[in-house]
Structures are given as C-alpha cells and as structure tokens.
A = this chain, B = another copy of it.
Amino acid sequence: MRTRTRCKLCGKKAVVTLPYANTRLCKEHFKEYFTRRIERTIRRYRMVSPGERILVTVSGGKDSVALLDVLSILSEKLGFKIHGLTLDLGIKGYSSEYVRVAEEVYGRLGVEYTILSLKETYGFTIDEVAGIKRRVCAYCGLVKRYVFNRYAWENGFDAIATGHNMDDLLGNALFAIMRGDLEALMKIKPVIPGREALVKRIRPLAFTREKDIKLYICLKKLPVVRTTCPYAVGATSGVFKSKINELEDRFPSIKYSFARTLYDKMQIQMEESDYQLRKCKICGMPSKSQICGFCRLRAELGKISL
C-alpha cells in the first residue's frame, strides 16, 4: 500500500489527502495547490484589477496570516499592491499578543503595514465595550467593519481583503438560512461590491477550507497568535460549521456545491428600503439610520455626545 502515501503529481511522500479534490499531495504541491485555489477564486470573481491597492486586515489568526502570505505571493503576478492593517482593539492580555505576531509576519513577508490603535484613534477599547455590553463579539464586529472601512476609504484603497474561510462562510450561511436571516445570508458572498463610501470587500479564501489553512500555516512555519480572545465563547455558528463538516465526510463534494449555490446561484431579493444608505449625522460615514452604530456605541461609552 506504499503508493497510497505518494503525491499524485510527483510521487514524493504525500503530506495530505484531499478527499474533496480526490487527490494526495506532497508539501510543495500542496502549497502550490493552496495558492492556486486562492488565485482562481480571485480571478473567478474578478476581485482585483491590475494596479489596485488592497488593504489586507490581519488579526494574527491563521486565516488572515495565510491570506497575507498568499496575497504577497500573488500580488506581483496579478499586478496589485497590498498593505496590511492590524487593529489594536485594546483587549488586555490579547491585543498586544496578536499585534506582535502581525508585526512579525509583516516583517518576514516585507509587507507595508499600519497598526491602528482603537484607543488612540477613537478613544475607547473593546474592554470598555465589554463593561457595558453583553454581546461583545457583535459589537467588536461592528467596530472592526467600521474602522477597516473608514481607514480604507480615507486612504484611497480599492478593496478590503479579509480572511473569511469557506467553513466559516458556509457555517454562517446555514445558520442564517435556518434562522431566516436573509439580510445576513445576502452578504455571504466572495465579493461585496463597494458603493459610495463603502469600500469593496473581498474574501479570497471563500473556497479554502479551514483544515487546509492550518496545514499551510504549519508547512510554511508562519507565526500565528496562540492566545484566544478572552471574550470568545463557542460561537453558535460553530455548531452549524461542524454539521457541514460531518456532511462533507459523507459527501465529499457537498461543501463545494453548497458554496457555489450560495455564491453564484442564490439571488436573495431584499426590500428596496433595506438597501438605502444615508450619511451618519455624526461621522458622515454610510449608515442605515441617522446615526451609525459605531457613533451610537461611542456615545453610549461617553466618548461623544449626540
């Protein structure tokens, strides 16, 4: 049975079996395969055009570190420029850790970057949010989306690349479908086009599995943050993610076809009113209501008055 452990492309020792692709690959061919899959995703959805400037948000986790690594490889071939952004959320015992990891990765890959401090720029930390809010993760998500978008907009970036991987996107999608949240479902796409002051968001890992990301990180010996966020609790969507993985064990092509359904086939219709964007009265950034969620949060924290 020795042949079973050989790379299908070169016959060297295989490090991984990919049932969904019906193949086994050695170290080198896996890395190539991993990069090529992301390149294909970028091309298929025309995520970037030559000459564009892409802001890559790096949290120091495996997804964003792998994304930065691959984009730094592809940027020359596809003719775009990347710049890293890491947001220091001010979470004690955690933020300093991932900022350190991110800086290490930026340095190793030679990628230009910015470390943005939430405290210095907007006067508060996520620890302060945790003091007044129960659903910290939801607010932290809001804060990150706002800060990333505003930074990209003010600095003239063409797109924001985030490390959302296939498993997370599908898990979130299933959760959204089952709880009937079509507005959330609508946003689970490889590309969310920009409009007005909302910068285009791209997800080059939309067809990349979590398992493969872990292996890539390991094979390339990339540093990732080992501490977990103190506010992280077992996310509900994780349950849905693992159900999908159980289904993929049985039907190896199911995740891919589910992704194609979500990304390409399903057109969710929304009420026109759900699309409308105004300008926040306080900060001028896009908002569904008169005052955006970020400014309302800052007001609740006593940092600004409405």
A interface with B by C-beta (< 8 Å): 177-180, 182, 236, 239-240, 243, 246-247, 250-251, 254, 257-258, 260-261, 265-269
Nearest-neighbor residue (CB-CB) of A247 within chain B:
B243
Is the CB–CB distance between B254 and A179 below 8 Å? yes
13 contacts between A and B (CB under 8 A): A177-B258, A177-B261, A178-B254, A178-B257, A179-B257, A180-B257, A180-B258, A182-B261, A182-B266, A239-B250, A240-B247, A243-B243, A269-B269
The count of identical subunits is 2
Is the CB–CB distance between A258 and B178 below 8 Å? yes
Chain A's interface: helix, strand, loop or mixed, by majority?
Answer: helix
Give the complex CA separation of A178 and B269 in angstroms: 20
CB-defined contacts of A269 to chain B, threshold 8 Å: 267, 269
CB-defined contacts of A260 to chain B, threshold 8 Å: 180
Give the complex CA separation of A247 and B247 in angstroms: 13
Give the complex CA separation of A177 and B178 in angstroms: 12
Nearest-neighbor residue (CB-CB) of A177 within chain B:
B261
Whole-angstrom distance from the CB of A175 to the nearest CB of chain B? Answer: 9
Give the complex CA separation of A177 and B269 in angstroms: 17
Is the CB–CB distance between A247 and B239 below 8 Å? yes
Nearest-neighbor residue (CB-CB) of A176 within chain B:
B261
Is the CB–CB distance between B265 and A182 below 8 Å? yes
Give the complex CA separation of A251 and B243 in angstroms: 13
CB-defined contacts of A177 to chain B, threshold 8 Å: 177, 258, 261
CB-defined contacts of A254 to chain B, threshold 8 Å: 178-179
Nearest-neighbor residue (CB-CB) of A243 within chain B:
B243
Nearest-neighbor residue (CB-CB) of A262 within chain B:
B177
Nearest-neighbor residue (CB-CB) of A180 within chain B:
B261
For the complex of A and B, the 6 pairs showing the least CB-CB separation, nearest first, are: A180-B261, A178-B258, A180-B257, A243-B243, A179-B257, A178-B254
